């Protein structure tokens, strides 16, 4: 819930700033007095139309940056995920799995696993939350090693 609230707040602030930029553009760009009756400036005034196109490209870039930043944040504490580790191998795929990059929360809340090659289009990265009990995971690892020996 906190994760999505942060995303909504970030998108809202970005939208407000970009809308303010468009309003500033409208305010600073003088309307052509020859056209008097007021057709929309967007299509009939080429420099204004180009300025709005640049504003639209800026909106696309900011939207992409907002989504990308949110994708690489911890789902619990909202910190940026760190320590990317490449795992898997194409040449040893049956042994190690497909190549992917794993990011981890610096406070151990979870791991984000992103496929290195998106074969089936844009795939959603897999988030695996970690257990709150560190000792449980360590004991499980030692039990596995006991069974092997
Ligand atoms: Zn975290």
Provide the residue ranges of all domains of the chain, joining segments of one domain with +: 2-71, 82-148
Block residue for tokens 């989504």: 67
pTM listed for this prediction: 0.74
More confident residue, 145 or 30: 30
> Which residues crowd ion ligand 1, with CB under 5 Å?
74, 76-77, 105, 107, 109
Distance 93 CA to ligand 1 centre (A): 30
The count of other CB atoms within 10 Å of the CB of residue 127 is: 19
Q: End-to-end CA distance of the chain: give it in Å, rounded.
A: 44
pLDDT in tens, 49-106: 999 999 999 999 999 999 999 999 999 999 999 999 999 888 888 888 888 999 999 9
Burial label for 29, CB within 10 Å (0-12, 13-18, 19+), is middle
């Amino acid at each position: 819930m906190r994760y999505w609230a942060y995303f909504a707040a970030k998108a809202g602030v970005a939208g407000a700033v970009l809308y303010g930029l468009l309003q500033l553009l409208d305010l600073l760009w003088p309307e052509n007095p020859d056209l008097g009756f007021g057709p929309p400036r967007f299509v009939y005034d080429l420099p204004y139309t180009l300025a709005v196109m640049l504003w639209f490209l800026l909106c696309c870039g900011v939207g992409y940056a907002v989504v990308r930043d949110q994708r690489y944040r911890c789902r619990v504490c909202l910190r940026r995920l760190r320590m990317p580790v490449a795992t898997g191998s194409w040449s040893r795929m049956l042994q190690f799995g497909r190549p992917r990059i794993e990011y981890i929360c610096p406070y151990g809340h979870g791991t984000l696993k992103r496929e290195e090659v998106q074969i089936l289009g844009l795939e959603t990265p897999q988030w695996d939350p970690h257990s709150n009990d560190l000792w449980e995971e360590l004991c499980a690892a030692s039990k596995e090693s006991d069974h092997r020996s």
